[in-house]
């Protein structure tokens, strides 16, 4: 277990960083936690999330271009200063399979593109309940194959994702492995949601400011549409994880899905998969989305860039 980068960041947290974190907590609790509420129509949640995303800081130095990859629509994100990218990242956004889009995750995709000089494709995969499992998985696999068709060999591709997108990233590699296709060079996962079993009665950490167990469970039901939550490609924690590529997992300690990350780390290690695992004290669900504002988010994504760079030729 490699906690050094996260612990160093926590130990050196300045007064300014503590103030910024406190302001972000209040903002997220007043906006996203109130948006992601069980019983609220998903269409309304999507509109609210898109509106909130518009006020995030614009990312300088990168291009956001709508496009298609493998028949899946999405957004290509590239550094303005980089030459033709020799590597690619398939990014799978979070949102519990029911909300979210490339536009809502530009702080992460833009930072990754700038730090890695890779072409980042953020798949606008189909969402539940209109498109339940395995629609998102089908789209993710198609987008990966689209990157390969564009000339990126598997050893020059990574898959990254947050929350539901993190679980989807694992499921995508599992399906590729089972089909006998080449898997990517690495996985980078932020607070991955890998167990879709009901957790509506779960305790909520005092520091959680984004999601609640009832909402998570409602989204799981919408995505599964009656299928068993223990299906390995829906809940990868139940899968045989052997043969997955080196994996980086980052998670905050103040969040509902902390146990998912810890269980996934244990499962990966038990399957012989090289794992770099980082817990960030006092950080909330997918805090990396606050890149450009929160120092820990910047540190976390810089670690991701180094991790991928060490595994790409």
Mean pLDDT, to the nearest integer, of 232-260?
97
Q: Give the Cα separation of 273 and 251 in Å (integer).
A: 18
Question: Residues 16-45: what's their mean pLDDT?
Answer: 95
User: What is the pLDDT at residue 54?
Assistant: 84
173 Cα distance to chain centroid: 14
Tell me the pLDDT tens digit for each residue of 109-154: 999 999 999 999 999 999 999 999 999 999 999 999 999 999 999 9
pTM, 2 dp: 0.94
> Which pLDDT score, from 0 to 100, does residue 97 have?
98
User: Phi then psi for 62, rounded to 5 degrees?
Assistant: -135, 160
Say how far apart CA 13 and CA 133 lie, in whole Å: 41
Residues that are catalytic: 163, 255, 285
Mean pLDDT, residues 255-274: 97
Confidence category of residue 82, pLDDT binned at 50, 70, 90: confident
Identify the DSSP state of 58. Answer: P
Whether CATH 2.40.50.40 fits 4-309: no
* Torsion angles phi and psi, residue 65, rounded to 5: -125, 120
State pLDDT tens for residues 201-227: 888 888 899 999 999 999 999 999 999
Hey, where are the domains in the chain? 4-309
Q: What integer is the mean pLDDT of 47-54?
A: 92
In the chain, % of residues over pLDDT 70: 95
pLDDT averaged over the chain?
Answer: 94
């Amino acid at each position: 277990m490699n906690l050094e980068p996260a612990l160093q960041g926590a130990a050196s947290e300045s007064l300014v960083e503590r103030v910024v974190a406190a302001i972000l907590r209040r903002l997220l609790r007043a906006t996203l936690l109130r948006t992601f509420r069980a019983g609220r129509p998903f269409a309304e949640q999507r509109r609210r999330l898109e509106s909130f995303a518009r006020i995030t800081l614009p990312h300088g130095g990168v291009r956001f271009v709508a496009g298609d990859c493998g028949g899946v629509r999405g957004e290509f994100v590239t550094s303005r200063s980089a030459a033709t990218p020799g590597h690619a990242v398939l990014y799978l956004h979070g949102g519990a399979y029911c909300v979210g889009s490339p536009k809502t995750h530009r702080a992460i995709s833009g930072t990754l593109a700038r730090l890695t000089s890779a072409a980042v494709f953020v798949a606008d995969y189909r969402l539940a309940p209109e498109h339940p499992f395995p629609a998102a998985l089908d789209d993710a696999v198609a987008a990966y194959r689209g990157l390969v068709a564009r000339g990126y060999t598997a050893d020059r591709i990574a898959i990254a994702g947050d929350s539901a997108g993190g679980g989807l990233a694992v499921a995508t590699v599992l399906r590729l492995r089972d089909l006998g296709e080449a898997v990517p060079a690495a996985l980078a996962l932020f607070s991955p949601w890998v167990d879709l079993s009901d957790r509506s009665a779960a305790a909520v950490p005092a520091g959680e400011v984004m999601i609640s167990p009832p909402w998570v469970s409602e989204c799981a039901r919408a995505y599964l549409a009656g299928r068993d939550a223990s299906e390995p490609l829906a809940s990868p924690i139940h899968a045989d994880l052997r043969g997955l590529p080196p994996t980086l997992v980052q998670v905050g300690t103040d969040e509902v899905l902390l146990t998912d990350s810890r269980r996934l780390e244990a499962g990966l290690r038990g399957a012989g998969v090289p794992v770099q695992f980082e817990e960030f004290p006092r950080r909330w669900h997918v805090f990396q989305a606050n890149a450009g504002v929160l120092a820990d988010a910047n540190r976390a994504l810089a670690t991701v860039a180094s991790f991928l760079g060490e595994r790409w030729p």
